[in-house]
Every structure is written in structure tokens, then in C-alpha cells.
Amino acid sequence: MNISTLRFDSNPTSTPLHGAFTPLKPPPPSLSTRRTCPVIVCSVKRPGAAASVSVAPESPAGRIGGLSQVSAVLGCQWGDEGKGKLVDILARHFDIVARCQGGANAGHTIYNSEGKKFALHLVPSGILNEDTLCVIGNGVVVHLPGLFKEIDGLEASGVSCKGRILVSDRAHLLFDFHQLVDGLREAELAKSFIGTTKRGIGPCYSSKMIRNGIRVSDLRHMDTFPQKLDLLLSDAASRFQGFNYGPDMLREEVERYKGYAERLEPFIADTVHFMNDSILQKKKILVEGGQATMLDVDFGTYPFVTSSSPSAGGICTGLGIAPRALGDLVGVVKAYTTRVGSGPFPTEILGKGGDVLRFAGQEFGTTTGRPRRCGWLDIVALKYCCQINGFSSLNLTKLDVLSDLPEVQLGVAYKQIDGTPIESFPADLRLLEQLKVKYEVLPGWTCDISSVRSYSDLPKAARQYVERIEELVGIPIHYIGVGPGRDALIYK
């Protein structure tokens, strides 16, 4: 293929990008002013594909049906890649959808068949498919007030949750005070703050790791629950001066959780037994990851990471299933890169260029509403994530957002300031902040592709971009997102 330019740039956004970017005033979410690419709806049948491309979700009969009994959808960047949409689509072909880690810091936005929007945080994204059972695994930290609010919202929208959600008796409880401590911790860090969602995720996992946490199973023993909660609250009060704790707080929390315990009881299950028994019964299981590999507590840009393991290893520890049970792992990667919060971001686009991507892609957090930092697709980071997880295929999302740009870029390599090549994604944050990125510049496509449903109908430049990513990463892209709706998916 023809590549128009290769260049190195330590900050690709310090100068205007060939004058290609101008701020949108304000940019309409639909970008309705774009010229639409011609779409040919035909009945030419490809191997493993249905005859009509007009019903894209069912078109490649072998693509989804060929996924393993236990498959997973995981993020390849810093989260917000669009995992929820793919899980929602695939869930129709699976009996169980299970969350294995994280908490309400995950924000998965999905749409039902009528186009109604749902923002999920704890409930797995398979809930809109009425034949799917949803499991919240032992690796998840559960904020009960938030969970019940989510369930009530789903029920009010006509989505039945009764008998369709199981919560692990081994999952740890996240209390309101964990959220308070999260904020106090961020304030304490001052300019070195992590940039958390302040949903209490880190403090709850801290309680779990220092072994004074409270689990769902403890709700069945309200005679000892007050003593355990007192220990937890007293520990927080001794650590943070701004945390005021007294007998009244304990009494009120115990009373609240007596009610929560009663309401939660029908949902509680030994999910480790359930998951393994389901595997023996040949049930199809889809695992939904929260956050993404670049936020993994071990493999991400530590300390600017989450407190769980959103990479492949977290599946086994978060659900209690053996590694040999895992089959296909699908990595979800945005056609560009975003991250929320602090931390190094090698391909970040600052200024007007970043604003264009942010508004065109509506890059504002589902959980927090915060604007996301935007940049070009980082191939080095993507290859690193693929090595860690062993993905069998990728889902490239938001390809439509790159429409109207005269050129698109890929960050294909890193070099130190002295020119020394960097072979992989480094752990050293100082090095990450100072390195230079080698960019590969490809032609853009100046038309709206959001109505395209067949890969062959994409503009040549868009196909060139997809295939170059496959070539660089060495993993096939089987799914391409061109919009937020269920049907806005191309199977390749």
C-alpha cells in the first residue's frame, strides 16, 4: 500500500496538523453535514455470510457462531473503547454474560433495538437480551445502592431483571465511605492525583487486600456484621483526618444494610460453582471486562491505573474458572486513542486537533461525564496489549469518527530522545513522557460511513486504514463499529 509520509514527533500536536483540523462550533453529534458514501446493498454471499448485507448483525453466520464456549471481550487501551456494544450484540448467542472485575467505575453504553440508550455500570451488558443470565463475579466490588438504582432503572424501562442477575457471595462490598476516602486520597495526592472516578474502587480493593473487607456472604450474618463494619470504618477514620466517624454513622449504616441484605438475598449465589457447572453443561459464556489493559494494576501505566486486573488473567481470578476453559478473546480498540484522568499518553493530540476528535466522537465519560483526552491510534501500546492477552480477533470501534479528515495517523514506533529505539511499551513513566513517536500518515476519507454495513462498501482509504492496523498488529479485525447503534457494525 502507499503510505504518504513517515515522521517522528515527540508531541504531534504542538503544531497544526497540516491545517486539517478546525474546531467544530459546536460540533453536532451526528456530523450530519458530511457527504454520504454510496452504499450498494446486494445479495452476494461470502463464505460464512448471510445473503443480505442489510441485516449486518446476523450476516456472518460463522463469525459469532464460531466463537468458543467461553469467550471474552476485553479492552485494549485505557477503557471507553465500546466493549458494552459488542457484548450486547454477542449476548444473543450466549447463555451467560459475566463481569469478572472492577466496579461502578466501568461505564458501558448500549442501545436496545428501539434505539433507547442505557448506561450500565455494574450490571453486565447482556441484560437487554431477555434469554441471557448475567453474573457479577467474585472479582467485582459491588456498591449495593448503585446496583439497586441500576436495576430499578432497567425495570422502569421495561427490562426485567428478576431471576436474571446473580451476585457472587465472594464479591466484596463497596460502601459509601469508600467513595469519600477515594476523594480524600485524591486531594491528598494534590498535583500527583491519579484521576480516579471517585467511585471508591481503589479504597475497596485496598480493604480487600489488607483483609478487613466485607463480602456479600457477610450480609447473611447480621449478628457479626456491625463489628466488621466498625473495624472497617475505624481504620478509615484513623487514616484520614477529614473522615468523621462515630456511633451514629455505624448505626445508620447497619440499618441500611439490613434492608439491602434482604433485597439482595434472591440474587446471591455461589457463582464459582455456577460458572463451572455451566461449563460442564456446555452453556455458552461471554465474559465482559471493565476498564482495559492499559489500566491494569500490573501492566498499565502504574500508578495511573485501576485497582483490578482488566487483562485476561483477571478472568480466571475474578470468576473462579480454569485457564484451560478460556477460548476466544476479542480485544476492543478504538480507531483512535482516548484516556481519562492523569498519566502519560504518547500519541495525545493537544489543542484544536484533540477537540475535533473529542466532539466528533462525543468523548465524555459515561461514569463521570469528564472530557476524555484524545490522540492517534497507538500501535505500540496495542501490540503490547495483544501480547499480554493473546487476542484471537479485534473489534475496531468508532471508525466513523475519523471521517472528514484529509489524513489519519498511526503511532507505529517509539524512540528515546537520543534516537535509541524502544522495543515495547515501557514501564518507566519518565521515559514514556519524553519519548518520540514515529507516525505513519495515511490518506483520510471525506464522507460519512455511518450507514455502511458491508466491508467492501467502505471507502478505499478506510479499508486501507483497517488493513494497515491488521498488518502492524498481526491480529485480524473481525468487527468494525461505525456508530453507536446495535446495527452499526460491519463484520469482516
Summarize the annotated binding site for IMP as residue ranges: 80-83, 105-108, 197, 211, 291, 306, 370
Q: How far apart are CA 164 and CA 95, in angstroms?
A: 11
Q: Which three cell numbers stand for residue 18?
A: 497540516
d(CA 149, CA 460): 46
Diameter of the chain measured on Cα atoms: 72
Binding-site positions? 79-85, 105-109, 197, 211, 291, 306, 366-372, 398-400, 481-483
Shortest CA distance to 408 belongs to which of 461, 457, 473, 476?
Answer: 461
Please spell the DSSP secondary structure of 272-340, one letter per residue. Answer: HHHHHHHHHTT--EEEE--S-GGG-TTTSSTTSS-SS--STHHHHHHHT--GGG---EEEEEESSEEE-
Of 8, 10, 21, 7, the closest CA to residue 351 belongs to: 21
80 part of the active site: yes
Pairing of the two strands 133-136 and 165-168: parallel
Which member of 121, 143, 198, 208 is catalytic? 208
Catalytic pick among 88, 108, 169, 448:
108
Q: How many other CB atoms are found less than 10 A from the CB of residue 190?
A: 7
Which grid coordinates belong to 206? 485496598
Determine how many CB atoms are found less than 10 A away from the CB of residue 357. 26
Active site residues: 80, 108, 208
